[in-house]
Amino acid sequence: MAGTPPRERKVALSEPTDATRWLLDQLRFDRVGQDSILSDAPDWDQVVAAARQERLAALLLDRAAAALPDDPRARLEELRQQTRIQNALLLMQLEQWLARFDAENIPAIVLKGAALIASVYERTASRPMSDVDVLVPRADFERAGRLLQAAGLTPYREVTGDSAQTIRTQMLWLSPKLPGGIELHWHLVDSGYYANQVPIEWFWERTMEAQLGARRVRVFSPDAQLLHLAAHLELHHAGAGWLWVYDVAALIHKFGGALDWNLIVDTAARFEWGQSLRVALERAQAAFGVTLPESVTARWADLRATRGERLARVLAEPSAHQAAFLFDGMNQRDWRARARYLWRALFPAPEFMQIHGPIRNRRDLVWQYLLRLGRGMYRIPRALWSGVNEYRTNKRI
């Protein structure tokens, strides 16, 4: 339903439980074809709970269904069936929206979950989705949004009253009747710094066609897909979320021999997410046993994290998200754009402010703006400091 927060949310990075460790061990690619070792499994309730939380239930069934006891297998099968239904509804909506974009001559590239279903995963239900992601040209971003609005979808922040302001390289549109929604992107990292640093044209030039249901869609080439997945994992989710780590591992397992590793490493360094690539690959290798060429690991020592990459990684921490808008504003193209951006962020339209309290007259509006400024002065430094502390605790970049 509209207004329901999407399940793909930022979560803090934490040490896996015993049940999660056991679950990850079953999904390792260096044990594909081996019999599952179930005798040392933890409590099955914990395993099912971990599979639900990490959204890995269908993948566990794909690997070890025949060896699982009846009760946990039935509960995992129920989770997989829920994913199958949700994905079918989302992909049906995606097909309709892509057809609308085609009719209006808006180029579109399918991203993330749906793209991986089309190019990496063998079964639609193996890769859970909470929404579908589509990249459109920046020049068509607003027009594509108007098409979705005309079809009855509503921007997520407008529905929830979320006051977070960013460079807005993406916007989640929710359907009033169906689960999830469509997240439109004109860039791949929701960051003012990377919106200016990374030429999105590089990704538009590296696409391929893939079959998704009854439709052929454009997705990134494996090289571009790996770069995007690494940035999404580290610079958006701060390395948290085993499903996104598995995405990286699964892509490497399928396309490893065809990947142009020199291009990938060189481009990551040029885009200033070389350390993010390194850490994402290390996570995938450690958790899921994918093989990386020695020539790649030998180059890791040459990759240096820039100040921009470190700051983006700090702001990716869940506790620091409220401070992101300030740095996005600082990365606008000139002082006029910075002033305009920060003014809109600090003093949004009265219609937006109405969400936070009744505004009967100009005095009420001024009071709400003063409260907003006061909350910001209190929360933003605390958010940034918390993000720095989390980054230091989990430091990998």
User: Average pLDDT of 60-65?
Assistant: 90
- Give me the half-sphere count of Cα atoms (radius 13 Å) on the Cβ side of residue 326: 14
Q: Evaluate if residue 280 carries a pLDDT over 80.
A: yes
User: Which residues are CB-contacts of 231 (< 8 A; sequence separation ≥ 6)?
Assistant: 188, 189, 194, 273, 276, 277
The model's pTM is 0.84
Sheet with 170-174, strands from edge to edge, namely 109-111, 132-135, 181-185, 170-174, 154-155
Short-list 21, 65, 70, 66, CA closest to 47: 21
**Higher pLDDT among residues 216 and 257, named by residue:** 216
Q: What is the pLDDT of residues 234-259, one digit of tens each?
A: 988 888 899 999 999 999 999 988 99
Domain residues of the chain, as ranges? 18-314
User: Would strands 181-185 and 132-135 be described as parallel, antiparallel, or unpaired?
Assistant: parallel
Q: Does domain 18-314 have CATH number 3.30.460.40?
A: yes
**DSSP reduced 3-state for 19:** helix
Exposed e or buried b for every residue in 120-152, given b needs 16+ CB within 10 A? bbeebbbbbbbbbbbbbbeebbeebbebbeeee
H helix or E strand, kind and range, residue 391: helix 362-393
356 compared with 241, residue with greater pLDDT: 241
Cβ(233)–Cβ(115) under 8 Å? Answer: no
Q: How confident is the model at residue 159 (pLDDT cuts 50, 70, 90)?
A: very low
pLDDT at site 196: 84
Residue 38 three-state SS:
coil
